[in-house]
């Protein structure tokens, strides 16, 4: 296996640091628009299998040329979702397997954005499903942590824990604190604005996908391992678009623990138009307001040594257990920033995102996972993934996941 990681930011760098501890690949090319970033990463890691390169992620031709130049067999997209389609198309043109952690962008319904879906997350990719299948190629989409690990949990719950699922409720929360900053998001602010200010999507059996206003249906969810109660709200996310395609859940939701301050900042950005991506002229220079916001905030990849706390991703599953009795179970994974910084020099949020596509690549390399077309994580057997995640090194990745029974409603 010859891998290309597009993007040497926080997640791409963490993925490289995780991958080099494994022996399932021959070459790992790390590419970025700024060649200094992958060059610094390759020098830091010092593994002879790593190669630094430059790529323009906005150009399918640039991506395809780089794939061909290095004989790449598998591409991991580790840049923000505005670049999904050029990378996706470049991979198809070059005949390689594609993986991403965020899917093609959505566009709200023109007339009823808080009731009806417009272009949904991933629609542009799924429109090419037949072409990928006919070509015998695989695009494994949404294989980060959320989406990704949460979708693996959903598959595991349906296969091993529940005979009937009323709701798959993805719940994401943290108690992370960044010292020295009044406001410092631990993940890409560009992506966070995109998913938090777009109309959230909910799925219900018989109704299909529909939308609600941003930050709707607040609830307090008690997260495990010392994180505790966090208020979570509806947010647009890929799981809601993926899980119904491969599971029989009657309802699918995604709620994120943002906190009052974060929500207020996002509302102000929206009110001022600073969430927009359309270019505006500032003293003769064309700039995207959202890019300006991102440039004014610290790079999440650089915050690890100032950050303390844990982040938790998981799925709250309710329904009927295999024994025929009502069941309410939270399947989850926690990353502790102190541990990820000490072991991988990567802060917890980007590390927890990056470990999952590397495990997926290993399962593809060994033939445990295989397929053609455009597939989400739910389309594959969850147990080998979760076993590899939890098994102690060197056999596995040494990062156990957990299950917690929740009170029945």
| 210, 288: one domain | yes
Residue at 195 is within a domain: yes
Please give the model's pTM, rounded to 2 decimal places: 0.92
**Are both 280 and 196 inside the same structural domain?**
yes
In a domain, 129, yes or no: no
Residues 153 and 88 in one domain: no
CA dihedral sign of residues 49, 50, 52, 53: positive
Q: Round to whole Å and give the CA distance between 376 and 143.
A: 7
269 and 169 together in one domain: yes
Q: Which residue has the tokens 């509302």?
A: 267
With 80 as the cut, is the pLDDT of residue 29 above it? yes
- Of the three residues 81, 100, 119, the one that is the final residue of a domain is 100
How would residue 405 be classed by pLDDT, with cut points 50, 70 and 90? very high
Domain boundary residue, one of 73, 100, 127: 100
Q: Is 67 helix (H, G, I), strand (E, B) or coil?
A: helix
- Could you tell me the pLDDT band of residue 187, with boundaries at 50, 70 and 90? low
At residue 210, φ and ψ (nearest 5 deg) are -145, 170
Asked if residue 190 and residue 314 are part of one domain, the reply reads: yes
Beta bridge partners of 145: none
b/e 117-143 (16+ beta carbons within 10 angstroms → b): bbebbbbbbbebeeebbeeebbbbbbb
Say whether both 154 and 263 belong to one domain: yes
Cα dihedral sign, 29-381-319-115 = positive
The predicted-structure confidence for 97-116, as pLDDT tens digits, reads as follows 999 999 999 999 999 999 99
- 301-314 pLDDT, tens per residue? 777 778 899 999 99
CATH code at position 264:
3.30.360.10
Which of 105-109, 155-159, 180-184, 292-296 has the weakest average pLDDT? 180-184
| Number of other residues whose CB lies within 10 A of the CB of residue 246 | 17
Indicate whether 119 belongs to any domain: no
Distance CA 292, CA 200 (A): 25
Residues 153 and 10 in one domain: no
178 - beta bridge partners? Answer: 307
What are the C-alpha distances in Å from 372 to residues 137, 195, 302?
5, 28, 37
Q: Residue 196's pLDDT is what?
A: 80
- Does residue 395 form part of some domain? no
Mean pLDDT for 83-101 is 98
- Same domain (yes/no): 196, 91: no
**Residue 232: domain span:** 149-346+401-405
How many independent structural domains does the chain possess?
A: 2
Own/partner contacts of 393-401, CB < 8 Å, gap of 24 or more, are 393/21, 394/21, 397/18, 397/355, 397/358, 397/359, 399/333, 399/335, 399/355, 401/149, 401/153, 401/331, 401/332, 401/333
The Cα–Cα gap between 286 and 128 comes to 33
């Amino acid at each position: 296996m010859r891998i290309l990681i597009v993007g040497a930011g926080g997640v791409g760098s963490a993925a490289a640091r995780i991958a080099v501890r494994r022996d399932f690949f021959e070459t790992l090319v790390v590419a970025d628009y700024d060649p200094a970033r992958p060059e610094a990463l390759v020098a830091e890691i010092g593994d002879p299998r790593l190669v630094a390169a430059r790529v323009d992620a906005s150009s399918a031709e640039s991506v395809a040329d780089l794939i061909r130049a290095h004989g790449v067999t598998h591409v991991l997209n580790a840049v923000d979702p505005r670049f999904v389609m050029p990378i996706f198309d470049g991979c198809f043109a070059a005949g390689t397997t594609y993986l991403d952690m965020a899917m093609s962008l959505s566009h709200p319904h023109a007339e009823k954005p808080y009731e009806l879906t417009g272009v949904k997350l991933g629609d542009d990719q799924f429109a090419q499903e037949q072409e990928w299948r006919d070509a015998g190629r695989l695009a494994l989409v949404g294989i980060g942590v959320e989406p990704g690990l949460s979708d693996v949990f959903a598959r595991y719950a349906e296969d091993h824990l529940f005979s009937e699922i009323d709701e798959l409720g993805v719940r994401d929360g943290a108690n992370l604190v960044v010292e020295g900053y009044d406001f410092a998001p631990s993940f890409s602010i560009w992506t966070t604005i995109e998913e938090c200010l777009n109309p959230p999507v909910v799925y219900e059996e018989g109704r299909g996908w529909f939308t609600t206003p941003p930050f709707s249906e607040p609830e307090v969810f008690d997260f495990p391992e010392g994180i505790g109660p966090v208020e979570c709200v509806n947010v647009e996310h890929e799981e809601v678009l993926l899980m119904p395609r491969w599971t029989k859940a009657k309802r699918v939701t995604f709620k994120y623990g943002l906190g009052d301050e974060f929500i207020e900042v996002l509302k102000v950005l929206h009110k001022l138009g600073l969430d927009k991506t359309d270019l505006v002229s500032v003293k003769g220079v064309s700039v995207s307001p959202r890019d300006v916001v991102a440039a004014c905030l610290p790079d999440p990849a650089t915050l690890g040594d100032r950050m303390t706390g844990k982040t938790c991703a998981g799925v709250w599953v309710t329904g009927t257990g295999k024994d025929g009795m009502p069941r309410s179970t939270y399947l989850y994974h926690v990353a502790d920033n102190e541990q990820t910084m000490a072991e991988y020099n990567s802060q917890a949020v980007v590390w927890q995102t990056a470990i999952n596509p590397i495990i997926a690549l290993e399962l593809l390399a060994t033939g445990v996972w295989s397929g053609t077309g455009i597939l989400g994580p739910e389309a594959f057997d969850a147990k080998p993934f979760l076993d590899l995640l939890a098994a102690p090194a060197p056999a596995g990745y040494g990062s156990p996941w957990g299950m917690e029974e929740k009170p029945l409603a």
